Structures are given as structure tokens and as C-alpha cells.
């Protein structure tokens, strides 16, 4: 386990993967600021901001300094090629930061922002703008409730029940307040089947879209 500053508690990683298994979903009584830490690479998470040491010819922008401890509860996750920095703040969304190896900014010193030049460029620029506001440069950010959360919960419940071997009709009996008289031709059956298929796709690869705010 690497020795890090006490300011940055670390979760141990091996081969780029966490050594623990993350249970899902997280028990609802667990505070958002106490959830297990997960670091996503910028290639997967378009909301992750990459911070680097500024080039020698760059002009310093006032009080913009690399001071993670002032931005919230800072946690560092060592990974191949660099380190993830997760900033958690009460009443606000989590900040995901990537610090490339050998380019990591010096604490208390100016830093630069690298925007990956891929097809998500516009979304990454927006993520940089949100990051600047989150650390005090611009209007403060307001937390927005995740509107699709109830649908995602139902998708998860249907897929969990199906994984336990329950047929869709039995799952419907547990979820619906009243079962339709003609189950096979009912709209409820079609709705649940679509949710099951969406949940299956989400569990396979679609969960990555949640990192970009879609899904």
C-alpha cells in the first residue's frame, strides 16, 4: 500500500482494480459522503477533469491553486498511469479528478486543465466549467436530484428477481398493486419486459452512460 499524505486517505488497488467487491445498491442509510470510492478513467467518465502541472509559458490565473483539501473531503486512489482524486462535498455532486503520472500538479501551486480531444469535447469543456464553479470560481453549483433514480431502482429489482429464477409474471405480482386480468396482452407486461431488457443492457455495459449524466 503506498504511503500518502494523511490528507488523502487511499483505497488500495492491485493491477488497476480495487481489491474489494462493491455491493450494489448501497444501503440507503449510508451517507453519500461515506460511500465506497470508485475511480473512473477520463476515457470512461467524461465528467472527470484532468489536472496537470502548467507549462512554463502559461500565465497564472490569480488565486487558482491546487488545494484539494479546500475543495471538500479529498480521497486519493492510486491507479496505473496516475491517480484518481475524489472530492466529496455535502449537498453537492462528487468531483472526479485525474492526475496523470509525472504531470501531477504541486500542492499549493498553479495547475493546468487538460481537455481530451475526443468526440465528447463539448461535454468535457462543460465539465471543466462546472469544476471551476465547484472550487469557487463563478456562481456556486446547486445539486440537482437524479430524476431517473426511481426507474433505475425498478430495473434493478426486476433484474435481481429474474436472476433468482422468478418468471416475469411472478415479478409483476410482487411489484404491481393490482395484476391485470389479461396478463399476456397487458401493457404492464410490455412495460416490465422493456424495463427488464433496459436493466440487462445497463448491467452489461450501459452503466457507463450514467457517468456522463445520461441513461
> For residue 30, is pLDDT > 80?
no
For residues 54 and 71, what is the distance between their CA atoms, to the nearest angstrom?
20
Q: What is the pLDDT of residue 33?
A: 56
> For residue 193, is pLDDT > 60?
yes
Q: What is the pLDDT of residue 29?
A: 56
Lowest mean pLDDT among 38-42, 80-84, 169-173: 38-42
> For residue 131, is pLDDT > 80?
yes
Residue for grid cell 473512473: 40
Whether the model clears a pTM of 0.75, i.e. scores above it, the answer is no
Q: From the CB of residue 25, how many other CB atoms can be counted at a distance below 10 Å?
A: 11
Q: Are 198 and 155 within 8 A, CB to CB? A: yes
Sheet of 82-88, strand order: 73-79, 82-88, 95-100, 49-52, 112-114
Q: Confidence band (pLDDT; 50, 70, 90) for 44?
A: confident
> For residue 196, is pLDDT > 70?
yes
For residues 22 and 26, what is the distance between their CA atoms, to the nearest angstrom?
9
- Averaged pLDDT for residues 145-158: 75
Dig out the grid coordinates for 147 from the structure: 430524476
> For residue 69, is pLDDT > 50?
yes
Amino acid at each position: 500500500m503506498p504511503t500518502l499524505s494523511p490528507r488523502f486517505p487511499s483505497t488500495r488497488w492491485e493491477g488497476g482494480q480495487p481489491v474489494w467487491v462493491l455491493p450494489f445498491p448501497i444501503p440507503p442509510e449510508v451517507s453519500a459522503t461515506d460511500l465506497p470510492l470508485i475511480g473512473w478513467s477520463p476515457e470512461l467518465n467524461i465528467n472527470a477533469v484532468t489536472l496537470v502541472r502548467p507549462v512554463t509559458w502559461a500565465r497564472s490565473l490569480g488565486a487558482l491553486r491546487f488545494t484539494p483539501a479546500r475543495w471538500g473531503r479529498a480521497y486519493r486512489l492510486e491507479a496505473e498511469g496516475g491517480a484518481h482524486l475524489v472530492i466529496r462535498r455535502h449537498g453537492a455532486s462528487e468531483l472526479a479528478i485525474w492526475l496523470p503520472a509525472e504531470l501531477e500538479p504541486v500542492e499549493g501551486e498553479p495547475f493546468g486543465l487538460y481537455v481530451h480531444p475526443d468526440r465528447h469535447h463539448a461535454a468535457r469543456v462543460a465539465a471543466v466549467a462546472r469544476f471551476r464553479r465547484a472550487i469557487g470560481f463563478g456562481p456556486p453549483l446547486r445539486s440537482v436530484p437524479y430524476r431517473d433514480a426511481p426507474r433505475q431502482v425498478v430495473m434493478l429489482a426486476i433484474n435481481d428477481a429474474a436472476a433468482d429464477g422468478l418468471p416475469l409474471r411472478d415479478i409483476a405480482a410482487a411489484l404491481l398493486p393490482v395484476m391485470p386480468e389479461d396478463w399476456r396482452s397487458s401493457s404492464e407486461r410490455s412495460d416490465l419486459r422493456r424495463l427488464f431488457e433496459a436493466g440487462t443492457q445497463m448491467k452489461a455495459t450501459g452503466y457507463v452512460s450514467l457517468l456522463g449524466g445520461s441513461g
